[in-house]
Chains A and B, each alone.
Chain A
Amino acid sequence: MNFDFVLYLVINTLVVIAISPLFVSLIKKVKAWTQGRQGPSVFQTYFTLIKLLKKEVIYSPNSSRIMRITPLVTMAAILVAALFVPLVFVPEPVGGIGNIILFLYLLALARFFMALAGLDAGSSFGGMGSSREMSISAIIEPTTIIVFAALAFVFKTTNIFDMFTLTTTPGSPATPTLILIGISLFIILVVETSRIPVDNPETHLELTMIHEGMILEQSGKNLALMELSAAVKMTVLMALLINLIVPFGLTTTLTLAGILFAVIVFILKGSILAGIIGLFESSMAKRRFFQLPSLFAMAFFFSTLIIIIEVFS
């Protein structure tokens, strides 16, 4: 492990933690505007997190150690997964960091713990959330893996770092394929981050909630960790989409000016994508739970199409 890589670990983690709450607030802001409201400040998520850190933690008497370690494990798994997607600076991959399958399964690790924590307190809301989350994640999995396989197929590598390096060099894969992959990745982004039409992140109504139901029992700093990890997860998936489709600004050499420029460009690109997500959410209603499989089947068909086009072209 060389010095560049260690520096990359530090930079990527700091950037992703610092930026992700901003994108969450931006989406809320855009949604508020489309509803004709002013909406909270774009820094509101930061304030909420700081407020939560100051609050006490409350555990249910029924809950076990799972409840206590879940926030830490979830945060750690998501942060390690974040290391797999370079936001601003792409170093040489070391020891399989950047493997796209491992990336997917680190997200699954976080989800596994979250779902168990949802069951731990014995409240029916948590159980409902866990059950729905695991079901949805299971039926979206074929689509996700096909999209990732298509990525590996197009770029001839399973490493995200190499994919990014390839997109920054001229002569990268043709635009039509990338647009198709972009659309599929967008669907995965919406599903994985529990957004409309799959889940509603705003509500605490038991009939609609999935992700919010699972973390209903969390409080204080644990809740802050869960909220932050959800934000980081969204930013990482956004970064995967952005840096593949619009690699502009991504640097492969380590200079201070380059990094700063890349950070600014990334914030701009991310804000635009956050705006698109906000508009997308505002233009849709949440689907009924059992209508979701047909939605996913559509996404699956779409991503299979990419592969078939690639195979026969």
Chain B
Amino acid sequence: MIVVLFLVALLALFFGTIFPLLAVSLDKRIVRTISLSAIIVASILLGSVSLILLYYGEPVFFTLYKPLPAISLSFTIDRLASFFLFIISVVSACVAIYFTEYVEHLTGSTRRNLVCGCTNLFILAMALVVTSANTLTFFLFWELMAASSFLLVTYEYTHDETRKAGIFYFVMTQLSSLFVLLGIIVLYVVSGSFALSPLPDASTPLVTVAFLALFIGFSIKAGVIPFHKWLPYAHPASPSPVSALMSGVMLKCSVYGLLRFLLDVFTPDLWWGVLILAAGTASALLGIIYALKEHDVKGMLAYSSIENIGIIFTGIGLAVIFTASHLPLLATLSLLGALFHSANHAMFKSLLFLTAGSVVSATHTRNIEQMGGLAHRMPVTSALFFVGAVSIAALPPLNGFASEIMIFTAFFSSVAVVDPLFKVLLFICLALFALTSALSAACFVKAFGSIFLALPRSPGSAAAKEVPRAMLIGPGILAAVCILLGVFALQIFAFVGFAVPLPDMLLVSLLLLGMIGLTYGVLYFTASRTVRVSETWGCGTLSQQALAEYSGHGFSEPLDVIFSAIYRTRITNKRTFFDQKNCIFKEGTGEIRLLKVFEEYLYRPVAQQSMRVAKSVSRFQNGCLDTYLLYVFVTVIALIVFLGGFA
């Protein structure tokens, strides 16, 4: 039954992929709507499959194709897989609803059919990645996911920056695949099979190599610092629904991969946990610090994804540390925190990317300094973005807080870890974690304030109109999910059978509502009800000017100065004067430049070295037929000698 439902969902996605390819020359809205409807149908099916399995917890296993005894294309859906399947289905459904309208605003006539098909393929690949039963199947669909997402990123390939972003993304994602493949091969060498089953012996050097390779592979795909650089390039370049899918769901597939290997294959050492925790904390903190500085709305959201992946990795790292210290209860708590944050981040980040897409398509700019005043012009979009901002800033009673408090509680309980040095390490990570979450509140005050509040700062922003209904329904569902996951967090965990030490957010929300009602009631009967709308006092200026407002740059200036060591800002100021005493100013240029630390010190040297190696290798590739014949001859001789030696 479950298998049938699952296969029907896959068929729907497959149909959604093929159909626009068949009708590729037909530039009709109906073609795209049918293709995207396939996603919605498939999502509903996948969602129900995952909910049934989450509740009953009985894994389902089936094989699709088995060419050799050792190699098979088989799938298993257990609770972990169905949890990620649930994330995929909710986000995909909402993105598809949004996309039906958004795709019509894109340029590129019949290319739009292809983007719909490709989105189907992308979702199909992700659903199969999280349900793969062996490493080979996993890698196959991991590559399919990478390839289809590359096609989606380069949709607007006519722009130079998109092409650059696409290549950057492609190189990084292939690097990730390379490391994952290396890990899988090493695992095969160790265990002799492609199965996702526990290794016989715990920690040999080979197992450590396999873990490191897989960790690096998944980190690159998840955007963990220092492998993060593709996110702030790829997200602004790709269409908003694609960003929502990539940030909301694809990053979670690498979280899934890491968790699957950690839980099912390895028996983690303590230092693996420390490594994951350190990578997580660094990504969380640096991610949000860079997000504060970013004024491209989608770039800002991309950096914020890096931060949230850091939070998830922090939870996973804690879980590994607690498991290795034999504290199963705390390990479960932090693991659940990491999983719950994955779901929450998927919901609010897709919500934010979709609403940001609406804003960008209404104002025709991605620069938040050119927005402003949209709360009056796009009331529903602004309310939806607001829900996302409150969630991501981890404020109660919404879902971002519900998962962060689990990780906080795990940190607070880390007293139980025996080694005093580890305690101190954990407390320092706790302090940085708290800093991260406070900075993300500052970041989203800035984002919401600059985009939606005060006066419009450009003609585009002043002329913005609310988007069509389909572009509100998709994010609307996500906003509702954000609220529900937060308010009913305790009840949801009780329902699936986990007793977590969470405060009852339902009670807190009721108390909040009660207090709002009480305050309103008391004021209604005691206070004056006169309300007047009048111009703000502006120190004697006649009317308020948009350019005199506090800008996004100004807002983050104090934090820029405080964290200037991290930003590595270079301020240059060249001036010429008419007189010798430098009194009468003639002309000058000023520049504030951010050093791209990771690009200049890590990516560029690596790229240059690989170019150098490639250049020396390319000498063998001289295009002359005789040389190639020589190669063939030498290879044959070498083979004969080699085989002869062994036989």
Contacts and interface: CB of A to CB of B under 8 A. Distances in A.
A and B interact physically: yes
Nearest to B397: A109
Contacts, number: 246
A53 B519 contact: no
Contacts of B376: 64
B205 interface: no
Contacts of A144: 434
Interface in A140-160: 141-146, 148-149, 152-153, 156, 158
B427 A95 contact: no
A111 B420 CA distance: 36
Contacts of A139: 435, 438, 562
A21 interface: no
Given A53-B528, A311-B424, A108 B395 contact: yes
B519 A300 contact: no
Contact of B439 (A95, A97, A138): A138
B453 interface: yes
Nearest to B376: A64
Interface in A44-60: 53-60
Given A121-B454, A312-B420, A112 B507 contact: no
Interface stretch (B46-54, B104-112, B544-552): B544-552
A108 B448 contact: no
A161 to B, nearest CB: 12
B631 interface: no
Nearest to B557: A131
B638 interface: no
A225 interface: yes
Contacts of A255: none
Best-buried of A83, A95, A138 by chain B (most CB within 10 Å): A138
A127 interface: yes
A64 B453 contact: yes
A91 to B, nearest CB: 14
Contacts of B549: 122-124, 127
A66 B453 contact: yes
Interface stretch (A33-41, A99-107, A266-274): A99-107
A53 B527 contact: yes
Interface stretch (B5-13, B30-38, B509-517, B596-604): B509-517
Interface string B496-534: 000001111001100111011001100100111011111
B558 interface: yes
B411 A56 contact: no
Interface string B533-560: 1111110000010101110001111110
Contacts of A11: none
B67 to A, nearest CB: 53
A224 B527 contact: yes
A109 B396 contact: yes
B225 to A, nearest CB: 19
Contacts of A58: 531-534
Contact of B503 (A96, A138, A149): A96
Contact of A131 (B408, B438, B515, B550): B550
B138 interface: no
Interface of A: 1, 9, 53-62, 64-66, 72-73, 75-77, 79-80, 83, 94-97, 99, 101-102, 105-106, 108-109, 111-112, 115-116, 119-124, 126-128, 130-132, 134-135, 137-139, 141-146, 148-149, 152-153, 156, 158, 217, 220-221, 224-225, 289-290, 293, 300, 304, 307-308, 311-312
Sorted nearest first, the 4 A-B pairs with minimum C-beta distance are A127-B550, A96-B503, A122-B454, A95-B504
7 contacts: A57-B530, A60-B534, A77-B515, A131-B558, A137-B441, A138-B438, A225-B519
Given A102-B508, A119-B555, 5 more contacts: A59-B534, A72-B520, A105-B396, A135-B559, A221-B528
